[in-house]
Structure 1
Amino acid sequence: MAGVEHFDVLIVGAGLSGIGAAYRLQTRCPERTYAILESRDALGGTWDLFRYPGVRSDSDMFTLGFPFHPWKAAKAIADGPAILDYLHETASVYGIDKHIRYGQRVASASWSSADAMWTVETANASYTCSFLYVCSGYYDYDSGYVVDFPGQSDFTGRIVHPQHWPDDLDYTGQRVVVIGSGATAVTLVPAMAGAAAQVTMLQRSPSYVASRPARDALSDRLRAVLPERLAHRVIRGKNVVASTAIYSAFRRWPAHAAWLLNSTVAKQLPDSIPVDPHFTPRYKPWDQRICLVPDADLFKVLRDGSASVVTDEIDRFTPTGLRLRSGRELDADLVVTATGLRMVALGNIALTVDGRSVQPHDTFVYKGMMLSGVPNLAWCIGYTNNSWTLRSDLTSQYVTRILNHLTTTGTRTCVPEIDPAEYTAPPRPVVDLTSGYIRRAAAILPHQGTQGPWRLRQNYPRDLLTLRYTPVADGTLHFS
């Protein structure tokens, strides 16, 4: 095919997952050629896209960072620019940046069984590959979730969505209303409170919030006495055990977990802000992600009065702010709509297999990474209850095991096949939380089953054993 470049593996996305995938590929399958197709003009993915005040990780960097390139900065809970610098450093140190093709948004991918090959089309180029690895996550980078509140055109101030934060936005001395109660909202409020005249977090319903030190004192001590890589492994293991144990306990005893979270928050709030209704959610802990606030920064600005929280529903925008269902008026110069994200499946790539269109919603996910009936394709997603990278790195290591098995056995194709008769229970979305952005995407996401390799477990130790040590040829993944 004239003008068409061929690679053994094409990686879609040059963010956290794509960079990690490239490292695993070039170290474990060094004979394989690869390229990374990145739709934007810079690497970093989420950490390059989001530029709103205070943007940060909600996982510790010893587990969110790569196991092969230890996080060296002091803060365990890092800000967005520091994480982006870390990703640039990693890509440069291992030569991964030389494999990135920028401005290459993948529009379609077509599999030919006769050729055992994918044909991948972008807006301005065509590629072929033997294996396609989609590492673009599941967020829509083009637009966030926007609610069309009544009366927005009447508002004389400015309305901004955090996903597209303007470079020229100066909110100094302004009255700011942040609509939302999730991770973005609890990050924005303390970050803006120092410069704004007043910041109000307006929420329809609250989220569970937990405080955590930005620096890990035990980790600091370990790094002071142990060699760098050994210290990193010990700290990473410690944090994995702790987070897994806490998640398991919270899921097993949700009433006790709710009491613990609420009572801890109550101690950090001023008397003017009761924990109920402002920090008492309607759902069980870990039905949705728990919002992390490093060094209790949210509670500090609520105590000093530079920020406040209102739990109510919006009736409409007015020329000077918002009118709530209770009749209360909130004056605002700037409204930040932290109303959530939009999800996409496999980067919105139009998939076909031998001319047959494949809708991700009609498939089941095998071992959290491959789609039933779709050959030589993997999708990299992370944990919802733990650091994204813990799961994404296991997935990338397993993909290299598959590729090496193909080489060793002289086969060219691998495809997971599911017997629908095995599953009588209603299928569940692959991301099994009750958050609004996930419920809204239920009609497009692939499904997970109830058992075996078709169930995506939120359990790193169990996945570590399964993905690293069990046979690749397990009878469900078929090679030919």
Structure 2
Amino acid sequence: MMRERLIRSGGTPVEHLDVLVVGAGISGIDAAYRLQTEHPRRTYTILEARDSIGGTWDLFRFPGIRSDSDMFTLGFPFRPWRAAAAIADGESILRYLKETAEECGIDRRIRFGRRVTAVSWSSPDQRWTVEVQVADGTTEHYTCDFLFLGTGYYRYDRGYLPEFPGIDAYRGTVVHPQHWPEDLDCAGKQVVVIGSGATAVTLVPALAERGAQVTMLQRSPSYVIALPGTDRLVDRLPRWAHRLIRWKNVLVTSAFYQVARRAPAVAKRLLRAGLERQIPDRCVIDRDFTPRYQPWDQRLCVVPDGDLFRAMRAGRAEVVTDTIATFTEGGIRLTSGRELPADVVVTATGLQLQVGGGMRITVDGTEVDPGRTVVYRGCLLSGVPNLAICIGYVNASWTLRADLTARYVCRLLAHMDAHGYRSATPEFDGGVSARPLLALTSGYVERAAGVLPKQGEAAPWVLRQSYPIDMLSTRFGDVTRDMVFTARPLRHSPVAVDAAAPEPG
């Protein structure tokens, strides 16, 4: 590994790196591994705002936190998940990430307590300048040739909380899952969980197991599917066969997604049949588990080994489909007139999304609005040189696409090396219309419609939801298509192309 270079700007030492990775979660760890194996002579560092590895899996600490996709695809392909648990708890996932970073020497390349607040590209210098707020209150600056944003798209400092009528009158405890207090004990208490997504269906059985009486209050149902918590094939196949399990899960997930999109009535029947094996009362299914939207318009909620339904059958949990009229001193009064007593209210009401951890991005002094850019091959932004972002699948494990993004960036860097290029800028000509990035109708996605980049209608500007197709594109796709390369510093900046997408209204 070449030693990192120091340059001076106004007398202040500024560290220069070939690649700067932002974020030490799944995306950042994967990018670091690919960089150090495929480009071992390049210098790189990971900047992490928090004080620990893990990203999402270090942030969320609510009871029962677990993966919502199988670990054989959520795990890294270069260090396979070895346990039999297909749906793993958050603590196990965090330990796996830390062990991977340590085993691969990636942990030594991470600098904690450093939040990137602004990045600016200079065409004359052909490099990024990165402003970093350090946990001790000081500011650092770096420069780099290429910037890799492994920050995901969650806003870590604040979740989404709608305005609830009368909440000021409520005398109990209100908590958002994103900021779960370590000392909150719900045993023996009446708990109302507001929400119907993956977080809610995770919390309800976990709190019930800890001795709470839990009500899941939802405005409308979500699709819920019970899957085995372990994969029996793990015990039957040798370790070298991990790839078979991984591909089996990829293909099964992809096949069901295609059925849901192309033949939603068939998917509905399959999902309904699964529920009927768990819930004997069909009226409950009709009322509380039959959504108004089509399968995969929103993510499916996975219930490992049917734990939510076990809690319901045991009388420790119930699901109520209704709307909130007002909070009261002791609970929540519903529009139907029913009152739900509550010692604790958990607002599992969703997330807020942002790009790059909320950092300010400028190109030659002009601020870039990510919401008016278009994604190129699912990882670069139109009009923005030498910058990659990591966007996971909505219908499969985040890691599948994160790894493809890291490998594509490595391939692009190799192409630039071979031809002596200093920068690569995707150029969107506007020949195809732009549409929302994520093909979901979930509230957190629709609220962020103006924040996230757009996608086009055709390659290389479309964000596919197909790992097999994306894998072929990553390895064999034309890296020069719709791309402007520069071999020397420019006298003027490239023109960022506006997505020309209508504002959400």
TM-score range, shorter chain: over 0.9
Counterpart of 2:77 in structure 1 is 67
Q: Which residue of 2 aligns with 1:95?
A: 105
Given that 1:266 and 1:274 are in contact with CA atoms closer than 8 Å, whether structure 2 keeps it comes out as no
Deviation at 1:151? Answer: 1.2
Query: Among 51, 57, 65, which residue is 2:61 paired with?
Result: 51
* Correspondence 1:244 to 2:254: yes
Q: CA deviation at 1:260?
A: 1.8
Contact 2:371/2:450 (CA < 8 Å) preserved in 1?
yes
| 1:181 counterpart = 2:201 | no
Per-residue Cα deviation, 1:274-306 (whole angstroms, up to 9, x for no partner): 101200001000000000000010111111111
2:29 pairs, out of 2, 19, 26, with 19
Q: Deviation at 1:272?
A: 8.4
Which amino acid is the alignment partner of residue 405 of structure 2?
T
2:170 corresponds to 1:160: no
| Corresponding position of 2:377 | 367
SS at match of 2:452: coil
* TM-score (norm. length: structure 1): 0.97
Distance in 2 of aligned mates of 1:73 and 1:232: 11
Q: Distance in 1 between matches of 2:212 and 2:462?
A: 49
Q: 1:474 to 1:311 in 2, by over 3 A?
A: same
Matched residue type, 1:472: V
Cross-structure match for 1:127: 142
Structure 2 residue 313 is the aligned partner of structure 1 residue 303 = yes
**TM-superposition CA deviations, 1:349-392 (whole Å, max 9, x none):** 10110111110011100000000000000001110100110111
Distance 1:278 1:171 in 2: 25
Deviations 1:150-200 (A, max 9, x none): 111111110000000001101110000000000000000000102334100
Would you say 1:143 and 2:153 are equivalent positions?
Answer: no
Contact 2:424 2:483 in 1 (8 A): no
CA distance in 1, matches of 2:484, 2:201: 43
User: Paired residue for 2:48?
Assistant: 38
**Aligned equivalents of 2:246, 2:360: Cα separation in 1:** 38
Which letter does structure 1 place at the counterpart of 2:173? R
Report the Cα offset of residue 263 of structure 1.
2.9
The answer to whether the Cα contact below 8 Å between 2:428 and 2:482 also exists between their aligned partners in 1 is no
Tell me, in whole angstroms, the C-alpha distance in 2 between the residues paired with 1:261 and 1:433.
19
Residues 9 and 35 in structure 1, CA contact (< 8 A), matched pair in contact too = yes
CA shift for structure 1 position 472: 1.7
| Aligned twin of 2:368 | 358
- Give the superposition deviation at 1:54: 0.4
State whether residues 270 and 302 of structure 1, in contact with CA within 8 Å, keep that contact through their aligned partners in structure 2.
no
Alignment of 1:447-462 (within 5 A): 447-462=454-469
Query: Residue 285 of structure 1 aligns with which residue?
Result: 295
Contact 1:200 1:309 in 2 (8 A): yes
TM-score by length of 2: 0.92
Of 254-263 and 201-210, more deviation after overlay is shown by 254-263
2:426 is equivalent to residue 395 of structure 1: no
Amino acid in structure 2 at the alignment position of 1:452: A
Tell me the distance in 1 between the aligned counterparts of 2:385 and 2:482: 15
2:418 aligned residue (400, 408, 411): 408
| Match 2:218 to one of 156, 179, 203 | 203
The 3-state SS of whatever aligns with 2:171 is coil
1:170 maps to which of 178, 185, 188 = 185
Instruction: Give the C-alpha shift of residue 432 in structure 1.
Output: 1.8
Matches of 1:452 and 1:381, distance apart in 2: 16
Q: Which runs of 5+ in 2 are unaligned?
A: 1-7, 134-138, 488-505
In the alignment, what sits opposite 1:442?
A: 449
* Shift, 1:273, TM fit: 5.9
Deviation at 1:313, TM superposition (A): 0.2
Further displaced range: 246-255 or 106-115: 246-255
Distance apart, 1:347 and its partner CA: 1.7
Does structure 2 conserve the Cα–Cα contact (< 8 Å) formed by 1:117 and 1:128? yes
3-state DSSP of counterpart to 1:445: coil
For residues 6 and 114 of structure 1, what CA distance do their matches in structure 2 show?
A: 16
User: Counterpart of 2:265?
Assistant: 255
Query: Aligned partners of 1:352 and 1:197: how far apart in 2?
Result: 50
Classify 1:472/1:308 alpha carbon distance in 2 versus 1 (closer, same or farther; 3 Å). same
Matched to 1:168, the amino acid is: D
Alignment-mate amino acid for residue 201 of structure 1: M
Deviation of 1:475 after TM superposition, in Å, equals 4.3
1:239 shift after superposition: 1.1
Q: Give a deviation string over 1:52-106, Cα, whole Å, max 9, x none.
A: 0000001111100000001112211100000000000000001100010111111
Report the Cα distance in structure 2 between the residues aligned to 1:256 and 1:240, rounded to whole angstroms. Answer: 20
Matched-pair contact (CA < 8 Å) for 1:176–1:196? no
Contact in 2 for aligned 1:62/1:235 (Cα 8 Å): yes
Structure 2 SS opposite 1:454:
coil
Assess if the C-alpha contact under 8 Å between 1:4 and 1:128 holds in 2: yes
How many angstroms apart in 1 are the aligned matches of 2:368 and 2:383?
9
1:262: how far off?
2.0
* 1:429 maps onto 2:431 in alignment: no
| CA RMSD, Structure 1 to Structure 2 (Å) | 1.1
Matched residue SS, 2:16: strand
The aligned amino acid for 2:158 is S
**What amino acid is the match of 1:361?**
G
Question: For 2:219 and 2:208, how far apart are their aligned partners in 1?
Answer: 21
Q: How far apart are 1:470 and its partner, in Å? A: 2.1
* Greater CA drift, 233-242 or 469-478: 469-478
Question: Residues of 2 paired with 1:361 and 1:475: CA distance?
Answer: 20
Q: Is the 8 A contact 1:175 1:196 kept in 2?
A: no
Distance in 1 between residues matched to 2:454 and 2:478, nearest whole Å: 24
